[in-house]
Structure 1
Amino acid sequence: MTELRSNYRPGTSPWAVRRAQWRALGLTDEDMAKPKIAIVNSSSSLATCYSHLDAVARAAKEAVDEAGGLGFEIRTVAPSDFIHSAGGRGGYILSARDLISHDIEAAVEGAQLDGMICLASCDKTAPGQLMAAARINLPTVMAGCGYQACGTYRGRHCDIEDVFLGAGHHAQGRLSLEELTGMSETAVAGPGVCAGMGTANSMHMACEALGMALPGSTPVLAESAKMRDDVRAAASRAVALVHEDLRPRDVLTPPAFENAVTLMLSVSASVNSVKHLQAIAEEAESGIDVYGLYEQLADSVPLLAAVRPNGPHSIEEFDAAGGAACVMRGLGGLLHTSAGTVTGRTLGENLAGAPHPDGRVIRPADKPHGRRPTIVLVRGSLAPATGIVKLAVDEQRETSFTGPARVYEDPHAALDGLREGAVAAGDVLVLRGLGPKGTPGMGMASRPVFALDGAGLTGQVAVVTDGQLSGLVNKGVVVGEVSPEAADGGPLALVRDGDTITVDLTSRRADLLVPDDELARRREELETRTQEPSQAGTAARGWLSVYRRTVRPLQEGAVLSPRTRGAHR
């Protein structure tokens, strides 16, 4: 049997005080000799994403105990985009991903536990949990805890993203308060994450492609019998992983990350998957450039699934058709099937029993929904590192846009400008100061994008921002996560009203058409200011101030570190 780090020599101080604590909890000496498994539960009653997890954690503990382990439930912060974006200019969302990873590290490393099963739910839990697993490199299994059931409104499908978009339409007077209220009452019909190919379902599936979740387990309906069975199987496997000494860094190899990126491209996944996968790669100290992988693979990966709101099919249909495992089987030779997984088998061996694509919801690679990439990385004089554009599966979009800049430092100011007619057809709406440092924590820029749609200006006004956007889909020519961000001295900080900006999706460029000497003059002027740009109203102390001082650029996953990580940097 593997020697357990959690077992101390009898008679020592750590052994004695731990035994005193655990005996008071009703544990026996036999219990205390078993592999000690952390059941990582990001539970909260603030949001439906997490409202079912306490019962899931109890089932996971039962399965750990039945498998010969000793389960200990630990808690982390539980962020929900729709709830926690209210404060800190939205900065508590992305930054909470890193809090999750450090919560886990503190509990698991402090207690010197032996392994983990992580209950993944809303957008930031899966990446935060994987970041911790990669950092502390302790035997770990990820378990996706399911998507929520959604409803109908006036005979039409209605989910949480419809409500988000509807709020933008209401802001422009195109949807009544009565209708928006009715939609909000029916959109969510049960616990779990957003129904659709948003960040949560995308990252649950990425866990499976990385080899860190059991095959065939994503996506899954929350509270379903399959979800419960998958969680119990994952919990049991976590105990076995300790005995086998199979660790995350054995699984999180370069081929595994390429497999994950390939799957994300093939299902038109959330754009947030880019920075999250990069963050996991950074914590694994792998030296992998995930942004580069998205660029390299974009034109060679066919689109095999088109799930709402990016396409016509529901997440329930996608799940029934075979989910992530079916898509990966359809991708065939485009994947590294020899990559290892937490099952102890290769990805190819895991996929041998997966269903074949049905040809409708999930297409085979030779008859895809499309071959145009829907996650497009752009570069240029306005985005020297990168920017990201998300395209809908069937959207017919102009491949280029050129217009004068209308600059705003805050989404609310942009909404006011739109209502007042300051933003007109032909303009490029610039939202800056929303990056990881500028907010700090990264602000959400989707509300002005949806308001443009509500104003009937989709396709007539482009958007360029260093903030983050909805992980589902954006309307019109929208370049998000421009890097370097304005607060980090990126060219976005130099843009002024009236400057010409051009975005070309064919050449994959975003450029600021201002003479170099004028930009140099503006930069000198900016650097002589006594106050840094975009800092009004940011936290002077507290968690967000810590985040701002230590966050790395997006190309390094926006992880927290006083130094650059990764061999590719």
Structure 2
Amino acid sequence: MSKDLRIKSHVFDDAKRAPNRAMLRAVGVTDEDFKKPMIGIASTWSEVTPCNVHIDDLAISAKDGAKNAGGVPMIFNTITVSDGISMGTSGMRYSLPSRDVIADSIETVVGAENLDAVVTIGGCDKNIPGCMIAIARAEVPSVFVYGGTISPGFRNGEKLDIVSVFEGVGKHNNGDISDSELHGIECAACPGAGSCGGMYTANTMATAVEALGMSLPGSSSNPAESKLKAEDCREAGEAVYNLLEKGIYPKDILTKKAFENAITVVMALGGSTNAVLHLLAIANAANVDITIDDFDRLQKEVPHLADMKPSGKYVMEDLHNVGGVPAVMKLLLENGYLHGDCLTVTGKTIAENLADAEDLAEGQDIIHPLSNPYRATGPLVILRGNLAPSGAVAKVSGVKVKRHTGPARVYNTEDEATLAVMNNEINEGDVLVIRYVGPKGGPGMPEMLSISAILVGKGLGQKVALLTDGRFSGGTHGLVVGHIAPEAQAGGPIGLLEEGDIVTIDSEVKEITMDVPEEELAKRRENWVQPELYKKGVLGKYAHNVSCSSKGAVTDYINRDDQ
């Protein structure tokens, strides 16, 4: 083994490091091993969610790959939380902060243990950006592996997933389905291990990371309970050793053009609004200049091609069966939408990786042809106006309503708004506003899948606009706008909105406005009292350190201008 590979492990060479070596001998490291690079395997295994329940075995596969390649691999763990389980409860406030806990913990272990390289394996939504933020900060050769998508459930011949259950609650409240039918949907929706099946946040972010070049081709679409997924992990262990040999670091891969590739693929596949938040945060950690203006620019250029849930019919396993994400990327590359010269964790470029990729299967209808896209432009739309001066994000895939004007129905908590919906107090044409739930105000910027799904289930998904300074799940669809910035807690105009004010959302001119004269807003601003920030524990630390959502809701100080 060449000494050139021992980037950090050389600290164990001299005599005074005998105590360090003694500790490592207790976990199985030998004299010969001290000549090899030490490779961390960061596992997000947990029994609290099906997204991660299988990742312990995947970590072992990655360890085997790294060991066979010539490294000394060591598995360590970090946390995960289940967004689906915490959704609609106060626990959802911990979801976005968990991204930073994951990033901090992986960075801490890699730095403290002087690891030479790391493979990270993530499943549930915040695992993926958390792992990627850590990779960007740690600055050692790295590969990300996605734990994979869940298979769809089936009931009465219909494909189900977790969003089917949330929407079932709305149908049940509306009297459209029985208790037994709702129970049947609940029992069938999640049949095994893996992350939520549609083009929701986990699958969106896994796809984005593959497009960034930080995971191996196919990693984002290979299902959780397939043999291919174990192979992904073994090959990732081998790949990270190859990166060490070639001296390829995350900074060599995470370029502006790589982020443009990621945004392009997310737009084409109709990914989650959370992609905006997370890609901004990863770019911030990598010190790459990406802003919401880049999303706005690429949204105009990239067509939406995928007929995938939540607004479409298909799930990630279906896409895998017709060629997966590599086939989609090949189509985009051949038609000039991707930068083919971007380096990847294979040590090759995007173009080189895709040269041997299969084309999309003949006769498939999941990915529309470029000549007949699902939508001519991307579905993630950046809105601005006097209600969101720093921007807001709408997902318009499947939404036929281009412009909605109606009276504001204003609530300061999701619970109050949900009660109003369940009590049939929200009417067609209303603009339902949930505020003081942003990064600082939540604190934690909770997702609103529960209430948005209830609206869809009650037949109001495109008849009531739902606005928030919080977030939406990747499973949300309908007439929704999130990430309104500045948030109410920070003095944003959404905090000045009053019951009955007329609000307009226009996805074609990309505006979100309230029909309130500036003089009246000035009076309201004088009378506005900022609520006290939350102070306790993780959420308190988060509230006092987090940036605006338009900056990615980051908690470190790289490229920050809001502190």
Match of 1:518 among 501, 516, 520: 520
Deviation string for 1:394-446 (max 9, x for gaps)?
Answer: x3512111111110011110122223343222211110011110111112222
| 251-260 vs 452-461, greater mean Cα deviation | 452-461
- How far did 1:189 drift? 1.2
Match of 1:452 among 444, 451, 455: 455
3-state SS of the aligned residue for 1:217? Answer: coil
Partner of 2:396: 391
The question of whether the paired residues in 2 share the 8 Å contact of 1:382 and 1:491 is answered with: yes
Partner of 1:314: 315
Deviation string for 1:10-55 (max 9, x for gaps)?
Answer: 4444x21221112122321111221111101011111111110111
Matched, 1:434 2:448: no
Partner of 2:412: 409
Q: Distance in 1 between matches of 2:56 and 2:173?
A: 37
Matched, 1:243 2:237: no
3-state SS of the aligned residue for 2:392? Answer: strand
| 189-198 vs 86-95, greater mean Cα deviation | 86-95
Distance 1:262 1:566, change over 3 A: farther
Q: Distance in 2 between matches of 1:459 and 1:64?
A: 50
Distance 1:103 1:458, change over 3 A: same
Q: Percent of aligned pairs with the same residue?
A: 38
The question of whether the paired residues in 1 share the 8 Å contact of 2:62 and 2:237 is answered with: yes
- How far did 1:86 drift? 6.5
The question of whether the paired residues in 2 share the 8 Å contact of 1:60 and 1:232 is answered with: yes
| 360-369 vs 27-36, greater mean Cα deviation | 360-369
Provide structure 2 residue ranges, at least 5 long, that are not aligned to the other structure. Answer: none
The question of whether the paired residues in 1 share the 8 Å contact of 2:403 and 2:506 is answered with: yes
Deviation string for 1:331-354 (max 9, x for gaps)?
Answer: 121111011111111111111011
Q: Which amino acid aligns with 1:559?
A: V
Matched, 1:191 2:193: yes
RMSD of aligned Cα (Å) = 1.9
Distance 1:88 1:418, change over 3 A: closer
Matched, 1:443 2:438: no
Deviation string for 1:159-178 (max 9, x for gaps)?
Answer: 11111221233344433332
- How far did 1:135 drift? 1.2
The question of whether the paired residues in 1 share the 8 Å contact of 2:387 and 2:513 is answered with: yes
- How far did 1:9 drift? 5.0
Q: Distance in 1 between matches of 2:343 and 2:272?
A: 25
- How far did 1:567 drift? 9.5
Deviation string for 1:475-511 (max 9, x for gaps)?
Answer: 2x21111111111111000001011111111111000
Matched, 1:22 2:35: no
Q: Which amino acid aligns with 2:539?
A: L
3-state SS of the aligned residue for 1:384? Answer: strand
Matched, 1:374 2:379: yes
Q: Distance in 2 between matches of 1:314 and 1:85?
A: 21
Match of 1:474 among 462, 472, 477: 477
- How far did 1:452 drift? 2.0
Q: Distance in 2 between matches of 1:564 and 1:556?
A: 11
Match of 1:166 among 160, 168, 174: 168
Q: Distance in 2 between matches of 1:457 and 1:344?
A: 49
- How far did 1:87 drift? 5.6
User: Number of paired residues?
Assistant: 556
Q: Which amino acid aligns with 2:376?
A: R
Q: Distance in 2 between matches of 1:105 and 1:99?
A: 10
Q: TM-score by structure 2 length?
A: 0.95
Matched, 1:565 2:523: no
Deviation string for 1:275-295 (max 9, x for gaps)?
Answer: 100000000011222x21211
Q: Distance in 2 between matches of 1:253 and 1:183?
A: 44
Q: TM-score by structure 1 length?
A: 0.94
Provide structure 1 residue ranges, at least 5 long, that are not aligned to the other structure. Answer: none
Q: Distance in 1 between matches of 2:253 and 2:307?
A: 29
Q: Which amino acid aligns with 2:454?
A: A
Q: Distance in 2 between matches of 1:362 and 1:406?
A: 38
Matched, 1:548 2:531: no
Q: Distance in 1 between matches of 2:194 and 2:37?
A: 30
Partner of 1:223: 225
- How far did 1:83 drift? 2.4
Superposition pairs of residues 5-20 of structure 1, within 5 angstroms: 5-13=8-16, 15-20=17-22
Distance 1:242 1:408, change over 3 A: same
